[in-house]
Amino acid sequence: MTRNILHVITGLEVGGAEMALYRLILESLGSEYTHTVIALTPEGGMYARFLQAGIKLIVLDFRRAPFSNLVRLVRLMRSLRPDVVQTWLYHADLLGGLAARVAGVRNVIWGVRTTDVDGGCARATRWVRHLCAILSRLVPHTIVCVAEAARRSHSRIGYDATRMVVVGNGFDLSKLTASQTQRSELRAQCGLGPHDIVLGTLGRFNLDKDHANFVAAAGKLTARHARLRFLMVGKGLDPGNADLAGWIAATGHADRFVLLGERSDVAVCLSAMDIFCLSSRTEAFPNVVGEAMAMGLPCVATDVGDVGVLMGDTGVIVPKADPEALARGVTELVEHGPQYCEGMGRRARERIHAVFTMARVRERFEGIYEQVINGRKL
């Protein structure tokens, strides 16, 4: 029997929730589950990927006309008659959940993708989250949290803990490969020599990612390890970013940094690194760490969200917002030498292949769909 799943997501920017939805649908192609996506805001870096993959996509524009688009969302749900409405991110949880109930759809799954409920965010987002906490006992059948840390933090602020389950991210391992030639070519393009030790980070420029922490730690490392170079990849990580350029200049070693900006060849960029670094001050379940692990990289990461669950004993975990601790974590790997790092990277890759595949995530979600459709409690 075919099951129709309607996903509602806030937008299609390149981010963890958007990538998780994209991977889930691709993994489900050819199964008894069909997926349609409604984005509440237009465009974004993932828009073309969804279209190219043949994913059914409907784009609204709530920013321009919120009321008329809410009416349209309700009408779409009535016409599509989904078996389940699954929402992703706070605004989609609130608007998609309420629209589903007005349209007569009771099988609603919310998605919680963050852990930091105390840190700074837009006032509107705080109000939406507060409303979601109140409505969590009425609107969703199930609330899927991306991390155990997310479940704990949202239970603490009033979300209904009895409706919450944890489903971590999975990874499309077929896309996380790169050849030695690709590694060598990118390193050469970046002016990185074969004997340089490349410490890399990947992710958009954002306060939560705490790139200031990464740069400060790199500044400390320059005096300790002459062969270290620093590769930064992601939207906003380019020479035109005045804040970032200022931090780097303050280290006195700007020549040891390479800024690539946003790239589509994530696997190749990761392959050019020798050690991966996550410097974030907050995360839920960081995709980029799993991607680095799948590429066989030893990782140094701040102790945020479910980083410990993801990495296990295959990397170094340090306190957040502490550049000295981050520098010590990198030093620990560098001083152990390349064979030690290669062994740790190999164990990291094995862990991802054993525990965090998209096949496992798909099975988990499909089990939840059946529970919701059949009206069974968690």
Close Cβ partners of 272 (under 8 Å, ≥ 6 residues apart): 183, 186, 187, 190, 192, 198, 200, 231
* Domain layout of the chain by residue ranges: 3-170+357-373, 173-355
Report d(CA 261, CA 204) in Å as an integer.
8
DSSP 296-329: T--EEEES-TTHHHHHTTSEEEE-TT-HHHHHHH
The yes-or-no verdict on residue 309 having pLDDT over 90 is: yes
Q: What is the mean pLDDT of the chain?
A: 95
**Rounded average pLDDT over 319-331:** 98
The band of 43, judged by pLDDT with boundaries at 50, 70 and 90, is confident
A 10 A CB-CB count for 195 gives 6
Burial of 315 (0-12, 13-18, 19+ CB in 10 A): buried
**Rounded average pLDDT over 166-171:** 92
pLDDT (0 to 100) of residue 113 = 92
Report d(CA 179, CA 199) in Å as an integer.
19
Query: Which H/E stretch holds residue 348?
Result: helix 338-355
pLDDT tens digits for range 207-226: 999 999 999 999 999 999 99
pTM: 0.82
Tell me which architecture the domain covering 173-355 has in CATH: 3-Layer(aba) Sandwich (3.40)
* Same fold flag, 3-170+357-373 and 173-355: yes
pLDDT (0 to 100) of residue 116 = 82
Residue 283 φ then ψ, to 5°: -155, 165
Report d(CA 214, CA 199) in Å as an integer.
10
pLDDT tens digits for range 240-268: 999 999 999 999 999 999 999 999 899 99
- CA quadruple 363, 367, 372, 373: dihedral sign: positive
Tell me which architecture the domain covering 3-170+357-373 has in CATH: 3-Layer(aba) Sandwich (3.40)
Place of tokens 């991306």: 146
Report d(CA 180, CA 81) in Å as an integer.
49
